[in-house]
Structure 1
Amino acid sequence: MGTFEDLLRDEVPGAGVPRVSSLVVHATDVVNMVTDETILSDTLRRELVHRFLADTEWQTEYFQRAAELDSFAGDIAQLMETATWQDVDLDRTPELIEVQSVIDEFHAWLAEHDHIERGQLISTALDHLADPDDRDVVVDVDAVLAVEFEEFFPLDRRYLAALTAELDLVCVREQDSSVRRTGIETGPVTEHVSLTAREGEASSSPSSRPEATAQYLATGRVPIDPGAGDVTVLHAESGEAQLDEIADEIERLRETQGWQYSDFAVALGHGGEAVSETIHALTQAGVPTESTTVTGFGDDPAIRELLQVTKYYAVRAETETEFTVDSGAVDEGLLSTIQAEEDTIADVLRRWATASGLKDRIASRASPLDARSQFGNVRRAFAMAEFLEDTAFIDASWPVYAEMLERAHEHAESETRTSATDLDGGVRVDHVQAVKNGSWRAVFIPDVIDQAYPGNPFLTRLFPQERVLQMPDFPGVTDVTASEVQDTFRTNSTASSQPITQYHVEQSRRRLAIGANAASQRLYFCLYEHEDGALDEKVQPSRFLTDAYRQLPWVQDESENAIRSERRAEEFVLSRVDRALADVRRTQSRDMTVSLDDLSGDLGEIHRVLGESGERGEAMREALQARVDFAAGRVRRE
């Protein structure tokens, strides 16, 4: 949004500068102008849905058994939220019909208390736009420009149509780039809308190698080498070492190129806990970070202090509580002097924060970026206490608030945030979808291994994958035809007898392209050799990266650049044979095909070089044969 505001400020000077807003923010303004309903934050929504589900009696035997699992409440709450954001009817599958019934009951329960969740904002605002009396109050524009139109959900498009019923509307989309919408809908967005006119612009030649790499991943076409920029593959032994490599390269470029931390981004395949772990690793290495997908609520030492304070008062208020207090974490002498019984929870927390010097501790032990984040988290904790005091249908007691804060703290890392942390100046760490249409000098994409790109499709933990794929009303793409795959993606990365498998693979490839397109000068594909853990399992590079090696001559493997000795040459040759064998093995386990001609050509070239290398080459040839025999399960005895 900031980028568009800066652009339009120069194009349209004066009072006519267009307002830049997201659909959700616009819908929020509409709802606030028409009603006084309280819009729940993600944290408060999680708390209320948890309490609501605790009293829910499930009818289907499947849910009755599943409800006994600790993860059930979080999983069912996530499905309810997904369905609410999409405003879809779950009306065909028996289990989902019951979920829809629970969603309706939850929303009715919220409405009784003048609350709505954020997922209801667009659908609620849509109802107000349909009311002529409300429309005259909320619509005050002459035209609408909808950008990134390729990502608009069906509900988003209905809202846009209602908003511009009597206005001019121009929609701008980028081809071969939809990752959000194609998770729930197949085909290009233009197949789902009726436009009075269409204008296309021929795609220009890529200006840098990172852009050319992104274009190849998105379309399958090999562009002409632009000559500018670099695309490098970083290797590491483990996932943890991979992040160390990224931190080292960031510091090297800062030293040699004079770049700032804000010139770098790390784009991950998924948000939530993966982003949190990456932020933690970079922070430990002394690299400041920023993110729009996590707030650090679960890792924040200030929140841990507040949690111990809350538990202290909860124990005092109710002797039967199960909470335990870490006496070394807070000053119990100070806490005992504050009369918690006579003041609100929020007032007591603020008084303790002031008396204990929490602000000074945050400022002294954290960098400016981290300190700003921690202050924001403390404000959220205070807001939760105020919400509890203002909500008549929840007991405003210390034990209840302690449960609420602990639940928010416990689930913070695994939940994707929907609001930014408002930080600047650090390395941007986000999932690839969040960096779409952004630009950084250098972008690192970790975990470019086959287990992640493409990895396995995942929709929910509530049901087995085979069952989900048989649910036509599940809020996501579950059943597609071969023609729908071709209509949605121009790439053809794997031949599969199951169109849904192919769909997932191509979408994963497009996600990788989105991350690559965010780099203006340097793009780094990062991978590692072994999984972290006791088994030390070997992992394989992503099939997309292996393909890029063959098709794009400017993709430089860091290990290849470092080949200056016989030992490094031997390691590369052996690893190439391992990759070839892994490609063949994946034809069964991953439901894909590979070109034996390409593999044969590579291995033939290796044998030719070994044949010209005398005694040393013969020793290497025996090592290669041992690799093949080991992969085939044969035992060799000399």
Structure 2
Amino acid sequence: MASQEPTLQGTCTLLAEPCSSDALFDHIATEYAALADEYEPQNVLVLKRHPAGLENLTEALAAASTADDTPKSPRVESLPEHASKVLEEHDPTLDRLEYEERIELISLVIDGASRDVPAYLERASDHESFARDVGQLLLEATRQQLGLTDVEAEEPRESLAFLYAMNDRFHAVLEEREYVERADVVPQTVDLLEGDVGGLRTRVTDSIDAVLAVEFEEYRRLDRRYLAALSEDTALVCLGERHASVERTRVEPGCIEDHVGDGLTVEILDPRRDCRETTPASRSPQQAVSRFLATGACPQDSADDSPQHSAGADPGHSAGDGSRSDGRKLESNVADGVFRIRTQTAAEQVSTVASEIQALRDRHGWGFEEFAVAVPRIERVPETRRRLREAGIPTATIGTPSLAEDPVVHELYAFVTLQGERERRSDRVDAELATEDARERASSDQRARGPIDPRDPTTEPSDVALERLRARVDGLSLETVESCSHSRVSRSLERWIRRTDLKGRIAREEKWVDAREQFASLRRVLEIARFVEETDLVGPDWQGLRRMLRRTIQYDAPYVHAVDAQPPTGGVTVCAIDDLKYDTREAVFVLDLIDDAYPGEQFLTQLFPTAWVREMPTYPAVTDPSVEDVTATFASADPDGIGDPFEAYHAQRSRRRLALGARAARSALYCCSFERGAGGLDRTHDVSRYLQLLESARGSDLPTVEPETTAAIHGEQNALEAVLAQPHGELERIVREASTGGDADLATTEELFEEIALVLAHDEIDDELADAVRSQFEFAAGEVIRNE
């Protein structure tokens, strides 16, 4: 059942527009210091809506100046984390459903459904992202406490009604098994606090005299109910920013002050006048861009200018989705700290970013930890991070990547498969492992057949497993496999890890970031194995473990569990742009500034066509906004330029994401785009409409970063590409000089080629690399013709 509107009692301060993260932290620290002086630091609870940026916030509050200037250990938690602790206090025996368990249980509920699966969902289930999209929809429905009874009156589409029915059944099964899933933690805790069940609210609030609610613009209706229940007998101070909500506005239109009722006294501050934003450094070009993207207003020299549009302002430029500026030109000094990177492909985009990071380090002495590379979606993190590291840039982002991409998971899954096949057909499998001759014959036969295709229905699972294990473990034998046998699958896996020295191999062969992630994946697989031994969802054997691992690998999404963007060893942060909201770096590179990403086309889900989503009033998001909703929620929207309110509404959310990412840049902001996909025949990508709008408002293009041909080359991949490009590059230079009547300096070319020859003659140079460079000289000389 949809939750009611809460009644909050206290004060709320909203900054009139997004300001720099440094200024925001200063303002929060000032409010915290006042509360700490009045109530003592240990009695002030600071609640942030989202966990991203929690560490930075804690550090800022710990440094806040109080009257007695004593050391402080502020109580700072995200709202979901605090709700989880409260629920555990109510029932310490409650079993929280883990990610993998949720996947398996939902699958079993759907498999056992009495309702027929709609034909559309049957077809859609073939798509790779189907399970993740369904899971995301059900999570959101759970957070908003929506069930089938809430939507039946709206006559929802058959597919949506089926999924809501499955979600209801799923939660009934959870209740029977005394599980609670993470999306249900806040709803359940709200009910317990509001009813003061067993005196829970009294116990929880006994040590809390004041609550400081941070990031208040993102508090949804259920979050506000939680806050109202928690602060019923305490002082409440809310801090937020107007024009900064991305997540709340996904499900709820309007500004936050329109939803808080009369019990909360709201004050709106202009950060340029009332906060640290009055300093010249904080009124930087990067903040000018952020302000423009968030509100559509161009900054002026005076701090007294309103960030809102005046009633008679020229609507200015339109981006085709209702976006506008106020018709004035951006200050010329925007070019001083905001730059463009344009490349042909996405790979070249990352390569150019890597070169610019090195150039900035050489120029300013910044550490790698002072850089952030922001991508539109978390799924883009692994590839971007990999390309940066190939270019010699250490990256700091650590998380749990998709299990399907982890070689350790593939090895353990192959071992599980092999053990399962040995249970079924031990003679055949053991024969291939028994002797060296048999192993050699199997390898020879496999080379003759070519690579095994796991998707081929005629391929034996044991053949795939053996191929993967032989590629990972030298001298794989029957004795090795048999020595790992145990009646419990988890113990057998532990023996494999020890006897094949899997942890040692990870430590020796992988870079520390990959090693840390692979150790995390290893722990996850062991946890799944232990769960299989305890649950009745699947059999406690190899077949049950293989089934659960297969589902988890298939449905898993990259970095859905945890991301640590600031590990102690340092490195460039690679993250989704949303994670920069409470962060600050010297230089921020915003990647993929193309219209397919900002704003994109599928705003809410890939599960249903957008045309369907527009007609789903019971979908757990804003699907039918009016023009008034768009303009009331987004100051950057021009009512005269709105064609389709649905598209305009969610496109404005994308523009706001860019604004919040841009403000994280302290000294330099780079707007990066590429024209084509990986292949030359891929379609051309248009530059993001918001980047075009920014340059239009400025009156000229942003200065473009050109690759420095004389810059130092960093990284093995960059060095390899540079060496391979030299023969053609020099030939083109000589031909170009000759065609224009100039004199080509052959001495420079001879000197360069002599250096390359000396490098190739070195004993440690890989033979394949040497052959590749020589072939490039042959191509350039016309001695070899490519066979097209």
Q: Tell me, yes or no, whether TM beats 0.5.
A: yes
| Among 20, 24, 46, the residue aligned to 2:103 | 46
Answer yes or no: is the 8 Å Cα contact 1:269–1:511 preserved in 2. no
| Equivalent residue, structure 1, for 2:178 | 114
Answer yes or no: is the 8 Å Cα contact 2:584–2:666 preserved in 1. yes
| Partners of 2:194 and 2:340 in 1: CA distance | 53
Answer yes or no: is the 8 Å Cα contact 2:484–2:496 preserved in 1. no
1:100-499 to 2 correspondence within 5 Å? 100-132=164-196, 133=198, 134-139=200-205, 140-194=207-261, 195-204=263-272, 205=277, 206-224=282-300, 225=331, 227=333, 230-271=337-378, 273-291=379-397, 294-295=400-401, 297-319=403-425, 322=461, 324-325=464-465, 326=467, 327-328=469-470, 329-330=472-473, 331-333=476-478, 335-342=480-487, 344-413=488-557, 416-417=560-561, 420=564, 423-424=567-568, 425-492=570-637, 495-499=641-645
| Partners of 1:266 and 1:297 in 2: CA distance | 23
Worse-matched range after superposition: 411-420 or 132-141: 411-420
Residues 223 and 28 of structure 1, relative CA distance in 2, 3 Å threshold: same
| Equivalent residue, structure 2, for 1:506 | 652
| Partners of 2:540 and 2:74 in 1: CA distance | 44
| 1:260 positional shift | 1.9
Is 1:548 the counterpart of 2:669 in the alignment? Answer: no
| 1:227 positional shift | 4.9
| Partners of 1:561 and 1:551 in 2: CA distance | 27
The one-letter code of the counterpart of 2:489 is I
Worse-matched range after superposition: 150-159 or 390-399: 390-399
The one-letter code of the counterpart of 2:677 is E
| Equivalent residue, structure 2, for 1:33 | 89
Residues 256 and 314 of structure 1, relative CA distance in 2, 3 Å threshold: farther
Worse-matched range after superposition: 458-467 or 69-78: 69-78
Answer yes or no: is the 8 Å Cα contact 1:346–1:385 preserved in 2. yes
| Partners of 1:368 and 1:122 in 2: CA distance | 36
| Equivalent residue, structure 2, for 1:632 | none
CA offsets, 1:325-366, max 9 Å, x none? 124134344542325243x22222222212211222111122
Answer yes or no: is the 8 Å Cα contact 1:209–1:554 preserved in 2. no
Residues 536 and 211 of structure 1, relative CA distance in 2, 3 Å threshold: same
| Equivalent residue, structure 2, for 1:87 | 145
Worse-matched range after superposition: 308-317 or 288-297: 288-297
The one-letter code of the counterpart of 1:404 is M
CA offsets, 1:573-596, max 9 Å, x none? xxxxxxxxxxxxxxxxxxxxxxxx
| Equivalent residue, structure 2, for 1:585 | none
| Partners of 1:45 and 1:481 in 2: CA distance | 36
| 1:66 positional shift | 4.1
Residues 415 and 2 of structure 1, relative CA distance in 2, 3 Å threshold: closer
Question: SS at the partner of 2:82?
Answer: helix
| 1:414 positional shift | 5.2
| Equivalent residue, structure 2, for 1:525 | 671
TM-score between the two structures when normalised by the length of structure 1: 0.82
| Partners of 2:90 and 2:238 in 1: CA distance | 27
| Equivalent residue, structure 2, for 1:616 | none
| Equivalent residue, structure 1, for 2:58 | 5
Residues 404 and 288 of structure 1, relative CA distance in 2, 3 Å threshold: farther
Answer yes or no: is the 8 Å Cα contact 1:267–1:446 preserved in 2. yes
Question: SS at the partner of 1:235?
Answer: strand
CA offsets, 1:86-126, max 9 Å, x none? 32345132533332221111011122222221111101111
| Partners of 2:212 and 2:138 in 1: CA distance | 31
Residues 365 and 521 of structure 1, relative CA distance in 2, 3 Å threshold: same
Question: SS at the partner of 2:113?
Answer: coil
Worse-matched range after superposition: 126-135 or 509-518: 126-135
Residues 61 and 402 of structure 1, relative CA distance in 2, 3 Å threshold: closer
| 1:61 positional shift | 4.1
| Equivalent residue, structure 2, for 1:621 | none
| 1:226 positional shift | 9.2
Answer yes or no: is the 8 Å Cα contact 2:603–2:650 preserved in 1. no
Q: Which blocks of at least 5 consecutive residues in structure 1 are unaligned?
A: 563-638
| Among 98, 114, 134, the residue aligned to 1:76 | 134
Question: SS at the partner of 1:199?
Answer: strand
TM-score between the two structures when normalised by the length of structure 2: 0.67
The structure with the largest alpha-carbon Rg is 2
Residues 301 and 372 of structure 1, relative CA distance in 2, 3 Å threshold: same
Question: SS at the partner of 1:277?
Answer: helix
The one-letter code of the counterpart of 1:361 is R
| 1:484 positional shift | 0.9
Residues 334 and 238 of structure 1, relative CA distance in 2, 3 Å threshold: farther
Residues 559 and 462 of structure 1, relative CA distance in 2, 3 Å threshold: closer
CA offsets, 1:214-265, max 9 Å, x none? 1111111111449585111001111121111112222222233222221111
CA offsets, 1:577-627, max 9 Å, x none? xxxxxxxxxxxxxxxxxxxxxxxxxxxxxxxxxxxxxxxxxxxxxxxxxxx
CA offsets, 1:384-442, max 9 Å, x none? 11122222342111122123223333444457335648734122112111111211111
Question: SS at the partner of 2:641?
Answer: coil
Residues 348 and 178 of structure 1, relative CA distance in 2, 3 Å threshold: same
Residues 350 and 423 of structure 1, relative CA distance in 2, 3 Å threshold: farther
| Partners of 1:561 and 1:372 in 2: CA distance | 34
| Partners of 1:356 and 1:519 in 2: CA distance | 46
| Partners of 2:60 and 2:603 in 1: CA distance | 38
The alignment of Structure 1 onto Structure 2 pairs a total of residues equal to 560
| 1:156 positional shift | 1.2
